[in-house]
Structure 1
């Protein structure tokens, strides 16, 4: 299966939509291309921390999913994706009207895929990169939910 056909994009979107965490946070798929996924999320005070910024765990979850699904776009049709490890760095307080999570594949292998991503806060048309991530994703075959 070549990613980008309507069947592969539909599979990615269906898998993404089954994530209760992403639904709860209001994170949606904005764009998909081979090796790249962009997710978006409106600000929601339910996921803020005590200073009113978006919580680091929420930002990390968005970046992790963007990277995971970017890796998924380059995996074979029998594979599912799981996170093996990641490291996040926060560059600025996560404040904004909305957030964009970008995931990009650096190197895709049969089992492991190396990715990087970023979280961008959008506020009154101004964009601020608030966090970065490097993550390793694993192709898992025969996974039962």
Structure 2
């Protein structure tokens, strides 16, 4: 059973956690509080597609991770979440710099959590917006 408080504290302080995807993508945790998470990601040259802009799915992925962690802040240690749906609106393009994703829990129910997330660039320009729904799963004892 994962102790979420310890996991989130380690993650935001830059200590190693068992989440290789965040390391692979260069996603950094910046802040957690109840129902809220903020992550950032530098746009790497490998993220640029043929038109010279970042491939859009990467901002969706950043939203998914940030939203999942906002949802995690509402869980007890005997629960976990799985993304069951994510809808994204691409609002602008990005090709360099650091993106910041801020996610806020819109509704926490017994079995579902709905989270809104906005990704901005270094000039606070909105790059994308998503709404994600997570299923709350009780861990088997």
User: TM bucket by the smaller chain?
Assistant: 0.7 to 0.9
Contact 2:71 2:105 (C-alpha < 8 Å) held by counterparts: yes
Query: Given the alignment of the two structures, is residue 41 of structure 1 paired with residue 57 of structure 2, yes or no?
Result: no
- Which one is further off, 74-83 or 10-19? 10-19
Contact 2:44 2:96 (C-alpha < 8 Å) held by counterparts: no
Return the TM-score normalized by structure 2: 0.86
Give the alignment of 1:43-58 within 5 angstroms: 43-58=43-58
Query: Given the alignment of the two structures, is residue 138 of structure 1 paired with residue 128 of structure 2, yes or no?
Result: no
What is the Cα deviation at residue 9 of structure 1? 3.0
Counterpart CA distance in 1 for 2:47 and 2:55 is: 6
Query: Given the alignment of the two structures, is residue 11 of structure 1 paired with residue 7 of structure 2, yes or no?
Result: yes
What is the Cα deviation at residue 77 of structure 1? 1.6
Counterpart CA distance in 2 for 1:87 and 1:66 is: 14
Counterpart CA distance in 2 for 1:142 and 1:119 is: 31
Deviation digits for residues 52-99 of structure 1 (CA, Å, limit 9, x no counterpart)? 222111111100111111011111221112101010000101233100
Query: Given the alignment of the two structures, is residue 28 of structure 1 paired with residue 24 of structure 2, yes or no?
Result: no
**Which residue matches 1:127?**
124
Counterpart CA distance in 1 for 2:49 and 2:87 is: 20
Say if 1:92 and 1:32 are closer, same or farther in 2 by CA, change over 3 A: same
Counterpart CA distance in 2 for 1:132 and 1:101 is: 9
Aligned CA-pair RMSD: 2.0
Give the match's secondary structure for 1:84: strand
